[in-house]
Amino acid sequence: MVGKEAGESDVEKITGLNEIFEDVISDASDLIKDLSWSVKTYLMFGLIMILFGISEIAYNAEVMQERYYLPLIIACTLFFAGAVQVYQYFKLSKKYSRLFKAQDELRLD
C-alpha cells in the first residue's frame, strides 16, 4: 500500500508541475519581457543611487570640512548599494542573455 500511495502522490505532483509549465509556456513572451525589464531596473536604480551619493557629497562639502562625517558615511553607503545593483545587473544580464537573445531573434510579441 505504501508504494501505491507514493506512486499516486508522485503522479499528482507531476500533474501539478505540468500545469505550471503549461502556464509558463503560454506566457513565455510576457515572462521574458518582465524579466528583461526587471534586470534593466537594477542598472537604473544602481546608477540613481550612485548619483545620489555624488549629490550627497557635493551638497554637504562644507559640513564635511567641519569634520561631520555623517554625509560621507551616507554617500559611501549609497555608492556601495549602487555598485551592488549595477553588479547585479551585469550578473543577471549574462545569466539570461540566451533568453533575451532568443526573444530578439524570434520577436515573441
Q: What is the mean pLDDT of residues 19-36?
A: 81
- Give me the percent of the chain exceeding a pLDDT of 90: 45
Spatial neighbors of 105 by CB under 8 A, at least 6 apart, are none
Higher pLDDT, 43 or 67: 43
- pLDDT given at position 12: 81
Q: What is the full DSSP assignment across the chain?
A: -HHHHHHHHHHHHHHHHHHHHHHHHHTHHHHHHHHHHHHHHHHHHHHHHHHHHHHHHHHTHHHHHTT--HHHHHHHHHHHHHHHHHHHHHHHHHHTHHHHHHHHHHT--
Residue-level pLDDT at 1: 47
Q: What is the pLDDT of residues 47-98, one digit of tens each?
A: 999 999 999 999 988 887 887 888 889 999 999 999 999 999 999 999 999 9
Spell out the domain ranges in the chain.
28-106
